Chain A
Amino acid sequence: MTGTTEDLRRFAMFKTISTADLEALARLTRRRQIARNALIFRRGDPGEWMMLICAGEARIFLNDEQGNEITFRTLGEGQILGEFSLLDHKNRTASAAANAPLDVLVLQRVDFLRLLQERPVVGIELMRGFAERIRYATTYLGRLNEALERLSNSEYEEAIRDMALSTDEAGMQALINTFVAMVHSLQERLPSDPKK
């Protein structure tokens, strides 16, 4: 069974794609159910497809030297697993498994590249989306770097002011929220600069 345009509309990556192009894309997807705890891919596997999560939760993890799993990201509804491999054709850099039963749409790399050949507009929109993501992430990480300088001088309020701009990008908002929470906890623990 294939996905629908309504399914695809829930993913930020496709937010600017036209309905006709989205229909063509939807026809290429295959719906899959993945059981809880099932391994989705292993680090080093070739990246031949990406997975759009319609329901459920997946975790991305690495194993440390002792073999312990270190989860560093969970993905849920509306998020995509493996979209970078689809385009740069690099092997998986981490492993992924299902935390909860997953309802996903799978898109194969070959199908996706064929779609880009037939509908270059889709590629242009994705290009724009990726460029924005890199730009935003780099800007905020750079800003955080400066904010850390201020924190080193215990300029808590200034650091928050520099960093805490609202954004509609979920990843960036998480960074800002975590940062603000961290500054507040530091303010409690280290209320004043010992040098002052």
Chain B
Amino acid sequence: MTEVLAYAIALLVPAFAFYLIHALDLFKTSKATTILACALWGALIAYPLAMVVNGGLHSLIGYALVVSLTAPLVEELLKALVLLYYTRQPSFHYFVDGAVYGFSVGIGFAMTENLAYVSQTPSLALAIARVLSTSLMHAMASGVVGISLGRLRRARTPLWPLIGIGSAIAVHIVYNNVVNRLTGVSLLIVAVTIGIGGAALIALQIIIGLRQEKEQFSRTLGLQIDVSPGEREAIQQLGGASIEAILQELRGTFGEENVVLIRRLLITEANIGILENNLTLCLVSARLRDAWEAEIALRQSESHTIRQQMERSVLAYLSNLFPTRDKAMWDYLQEQLAVYDPTMVHTFDLFMRVSELAHRFTPTQLEAMAERLSRIDIFRNVSMADLENLSRAIEVEQFNDGATLFDQGDEGDAMYLIEAGEIAIYSLDSGHHERHIRTFSAGQVVGDFAVLDGEKRSARARAQGDLSVLVLRREVFQMFIQSRPQVIIAVLAVLAERARYTTRALEVTIQSLSRIAQGDYTSNPPTVTAPLEVPAVTEIPADVPSRLQRSLARFTSLLQAREQAVS
């Protein structure tokens, strides 16, 4: 019975260590097959080989010297062979994996050694003490060797990794020299000390390793103090390429799936930071502040969700790489992300922080401008908070009577909302003579579609009387909406409604025209139902289809009369 128990302990304790590695999900990046191969190497190859070598040395230099000096050296080297192999594989990226592989070799080795020991000493108390201490010692020593070899691949100098390997061998030597002189409780104390010491060594290696990685990434980002201003500028000119470089490296370490999450997390965190800066730095209405606070709360829960989807090892790595308290790093990261992935980052708010456009309006003025924007058709579904935020970038411009706002063929780069005065629109004929088409007056808008599609101006616009306009640049508007899908969806809803109406009008018109072509003036023309909501302010006239229908009806009766006159 005692014997069975001793064997069970000899096997179950190391097995429990394996279970811990798996259950804690600490190092998800390592491969299960590699862990197994390492354990098998330790149990079936390294241990028997060590016995052969130790036996040979035994007859050469004597038992005492083997146990106290050469056995630790031989055993650590034999165990390390497989680690040397795996840490050199192209698929090996994350140095912490080296520790996991090291544990596995050590535990595998200890399993076989325990079985051999228990078969000779069927004393339960000794078996427990011995099994615990040996398993811990082998696991920790090889763990330190593994992480050291792992770091050897990335570290700039091999100093720390070599110290790690040396200390593992030293611990093993010390252990071998005390283990046979101790029994029971004191042996257990030694075992626990070795366990804690080994764990501390590994932790130290991880901390130093991560710090070096962080330095490396900081250098990539151009943040390192020891980088000269010139170098830093050169790196910054690469713009988002540096973020791309970091993500590319992380892709190798953690795999595509985690990098997608990392990217989303970085963007979410960057947006939270940007909105928090908004709250501290911007003078806006309570309504907009509330909206920002609500969005921060939403993004924080988003960030929480992403973190939950991430593996713990990735999170630990990230919190070292991008610590939340490092504000300078985050501010810089925000800008970098805005360049690298402008579509999701609140670039508009970043821009408003540095632009000369910032802080020109009081909260009351902003609210009044938002109110004016909300009357423009394309903005009628957009929230007032969003419109107020957008209003921060509005420019107020004055034009003298007759001055040109834009010319036919110019890029459609801005929208003009008339405060006072009028805008006259002229088309130019081949001889560059102006033909007056329309006049827009106060409260009306010119170029609302230009901010959406950037189409070239189809006509010339000039001030009629002294003109004061609110200008919204297309560039700024696009920057604003790129990270605000709710605004895009609100604008799309209005556009879809209008597109539906004009498309239907087009179809009905084509049918009317072919009916006239066939000389059919009698059948009722199909009607087009106008959108239920009366279109608000817009440059593209919404009443064109209904005007056309009236013209078609008049034209049809005219033709009918004419044909009767001919026949």
Binding site for B on A (CB under 8 A): 62, 70, 72-73, 83-90, 93, 113, 116-117, 119-121, 123-124, 126-128, 130-135, 137-142, 144-145, 148-149, 151-152, 171-172, 174-175, 178-179, 181-182, 185-186, 189-190, 194
Contacts and interface: CB of A to CB of B under 8 A. Distances in A.
B510 A120 contact: no
B506 A117 contact: no
B343 A145 contact: no
Given A89-B493, A148-B548, A178-B513, 16 more contacts: A73-B507, A88-B496, A120-B483, A123-B485, A124-B488, A130-B492, A131-B449, A132-B455, A141-B505, A141-B545, A142-B541, A145-B551, A152-B554, A152-B555, A175-B506, A181-B513
Contacts of A86: 496
A128 to B, nearest CB: 5
A80 to B, nearest CB: 11
Contact of B510 (A88, A139, A178, A190): A178
A112 B498 CA distance: 20
A72 B478 contact: no
B506 A120 contact: no
9 contacts: A62-B526, A72-B526, A127-B492, A137-B502, A141-B505, A141-B544, A175-B509, A185-B517, A190-B559
Interface in B514-531: 514, 516-519, 526, 529
A190 B567 CA distance: 10
A137 B516 contact: no
A134 B565 contact: no
Interface residues of B, number: 60
A174 B497 CA distance: 22
B548 A134 contact: no
- Secondary structure at the B interface, as helix, strand, loop or mixed, is helix
Contact of B541 (A88, A138, A149): A138
A175 B508 CA distance: 10
Interface in B536-564: 540-541, 544-545, 547-548, 551-552, 554-555, 558-559, 562-563
Contacts of B497: 84, 88, 90
B482 A137 contact: no
Contacts of B516: 182, 186
Contact of A133 (B503, B510, B511): B503
A87 B493 contact: yes
Contacts of B513: 175, 178-179, 181-182
Contacts of A145: 544, 547-548, 551
A182 to B, nearest CB: 4
B278 interface: no
Contacts of B562: 190, 194
Given A84-B500, A148-B555, A138 B544 contact: yes
B499 interface: yes
Nearest to B450: A131
B218 interface: no
A134 B495 contact: yes
Nearest to A140: B506
A52 B427 CA distance: 39
Contacts of B452: 127-128, 131
A84 B507 contact: no
A141 B509 contact: yes
Contacts of A149: 551
B197 interface: no
A141 B506 contact: yes
Nearest to A21: B343
B503 A127 contact: no
Contact of A113 (B489, B502, B518): B489
A149 B558 CA distance: 11
A124 B541 contact: no
B491 interface: yes
Interface string B149-181: 000000000000000000000000000000000
A181 B453 contact: no
B298 to A, nearest CB: 12
A173 to B, nearest CB: 11
B348 to A, nearest CB: 12
A187 to B, nearest CB: 11
B344 A194 contact: no
B484 interface: yes
A34 B6 CA distance: 72
Contact of B519 (A87, A141, A189): A189
A135 B455 contact: yes
A131 to B, nearest CB: 4
7 residue pairs, one from A and one from B, having the closest CB atoms: A87-B496, A123-B488, A84-B500, A130-B495, A182-B517, A137-B502, A131-B452
B566 interface: yes
Nearest to A190: B562
Contacts of A190: 559, 562-563, 566
Contacts of A141: 502, 505-506, 509, 544-545, 548
Contact of A72 (B458, B493, B507, B548): B507
Nearest to B458: A139
A70 to B, nearest CB: 7
B477 to A, nearest CB: 10
A133 B488 contact: no
Contacts of B482: 120-121, 124
A86 B504 CA distance: 16
Contacts of B454: 128
B506 A137 contact: yes
A134 B555 contact: no
A83 B496 contact: yes
A84 B506 CA distance: 15
A30 to B, nearest CB: 22
A135 B204 CA distance: 66
Contacts of A178: 510, 513-514, 517
B496 A84 contact: yes
Nearest to A136: B502
B481 interface: yes
A69 B506 CA distance: 20
A111 to B, nearest CB: 14
Nearest to B478: A124
A87 B492 contact: yes
A144 B505 CA distance: 12
B533 to A, nearest CB: 10
Nearest to B437: A142
A83 B562 CA distance: 42
